[in-house]
Amino acid sequence: MTNQTEYNSKFTDMVKRHEKTIFSVCFFYANSDISFEDLRQEVLISLFKSYRSFKGQSTESTWVYRVCLNTCLLSLRKSISKIPTVSLDEFPCVNIEFETNDDFLQKLQWLYSAISQLNAMDKAIILMWLDELSYEEIAGNMGIPRNTVASRLSRIKAKLSSPK
């Protein structure tokens, strides 16, 4: 990418292609200590800072998942002690509008409530599974064996479906 304008344009297009993933990951990791908007901002900053170094060794969607997950997990560990800054002059204007209806929002809130009871790794695994990634893709994103993904998903599904 030769100039900042071209970089900003390509970055904005990439964000639009993966807005569902960005929204989902941030939504599932937001809590009373770290808001959804703070997580989304941190994820967008991380993506912006590292987009230039994306070499295509994995699919773009896998890379976006990894950046989102790592940023959210790091934010949870740090409890947002310090947010890296990027000059507003460098950051492109990204308008993301999420269309939702009440039924979808209720289902999403129920799912969030159930998933919020899981530990950080299980949250990441179930989130990718809900986005229909294969066990191999989940294993690659998480850096764990495929069979570990399968056994964790089985336990997660059992935990989520059992009455409290």
Structural domains in the chain, CATH included, are: 1-98 (1.10.1740.10), 100-164 (1.10.10.10)
Question: Residue 96 pLDDT > 60, yes or no?
Answer: no
Quick one: average pLDDT of 13-21?
A: 92
11 neighbors 1 (Cβ within 8 angstroms)? no
**Above 50 in pLDDT, residue 80?**
no
pLDDT at 151 over 50: yes
pTM of the model: 0.59
CA distance 57 to 39: 26
CA 158 – CA 28 distance, rounded (Å): 19
* pLDDT for 90: 64
For residue 83, is pLDDT > 60? no
Helices (H), 1-145: 4-17, 19-29, 36-51, 60-78, 102-115, 120-130, 135-142
